[in-house]
Amino acid sequence: MNLDEFFRASNLVNPNFKLLIIEQQHFVPVTKFKVKNNDLFLEGHGKTSDDKANMTIFEFKQKTAELPKNLNLRISNTHKLLFGFRIVNKSLVFY
C-alpha cells in the first residue's frame, strides 16, 4: 500500500482513530515515521504513558500531506510492506 492508496481507503474512517501496527502479535501505537528512498517507515513503541504520543489518522494525514503520494508504507523494524488495514476498537490497524 502506498500513501495515496491509504489516503483514499481511509477517507471515510473517523480521523480521531489511533494508528496501530502489529509487532510480535501485539497491537502497538504508531508514534512516528521516517522517509527513506521510496518508503515511509512506521514506528511504534509499546505502551506510551502520554496518549498524545499515539498518532491519529488526522495527525498522520496532516504530517504526510506534503510527501510524495507514491511512498510505500512499511513497518520500520521488519521493513514489511503494508497491504491494508482493519478497524479494531476505534483504532486503525495496519497489516
Retrieve residue 48's grid coordinates: 506510551
What 8-state DSSP symbol labels residue 56? B
| pLDDT value, residue 8 | 98
Predicted confidence band of residue 45 (pLDDT cuts 50, 70, 90)? confident
11 CB-contact burial (10 Å; exposed 0-12 / middle 13-18 / buried 19+): exposed
First vs last C-alpha separation in the chain: 10
Predicted confidence band at 53 (pLDDT cuts at 50, 70, 90)?
low
Q: What is the chain's Cα-based Rg?
A: 12
pLDDT score of 18 more than 80: yes
Q: Which residue blocks in the chain are alpha helix, DSSP H?
A: 3-9, 57-64
Q: What is the reported pTM?
A: 0.91
- In the predicted model, what is the mean pLDDT of residues 5-9? 98
Q: Is the pLDDT of residue 50 over 70?
A: no
What is the average pLDDT value for the chain, to the nearest integer?
A: 93
